[in-house]
Amino acid sequence: MGRDLLIGLGVALLASWLALVVGLLLVRPRGPLLAEAVRLLPDLLRLLRRLAADRTLPRGVRVRLALLMVYLAIPFDLIPDFLPVIGYADDAIIVALVLRSVVRRAGLDAVRRHWPGTEDGFAALTRLTGLRGREPG
């Protein structure tokens, strides 16, 4: 029975991974959106560090941000980074999900306050992550 359970878990994990890869291939950023995302990367990394260090934010938010930075730093991913375009897509999706979570708990003003880039960059960040108009809840 234990062996069957492990095989079942392995099959489920493989099926989930394949579904993620197919989904990322279908929704991957194209053209100017991809270029915009790459341009924002240095500012985004500074933003994550600043938000994680802000003691006024709820502890759960800071923990999520710290875990995100650890995930981004580890050398292996759900989808290997050496695959063109989709290799970084899992990272982008996870960053967007964590930032949405941060905005839900801390508010868009907290993200704006720590944004190190330009206003155009902040507008691009809100477009890419779907953060426009969200308030803490």
**CA distance linking residue 117 with residue 69, whole number of Å:** 19
Q: Provide the residue-wise pLDDT of the chain in tens; the chain has 137 residues.
A: 567 766 766 666 566 555 555 555 555 555 555 566 667 778 888 898 999 999 999 999 999 999 888 888 887 776 776 766 666 667 777 888 888 888 888 888 999 999 998 888 888 888 777 776 544 44
CB 43 within 8 A of CB 117: yes
The greatest distance separating any two alpha carbons of the chain, rounded to the nearest whole angstrom, comes to 58
Nearest to 47 by CA among 137, 136, 132, 108: 108
* C-alpha to C-alpha distance for 106 and 128, rounded to whole angstroms: 19
Query: How many residues make up the chain in this entry?
Result: 137
- Indicate the pTM of the whole model: 0.65
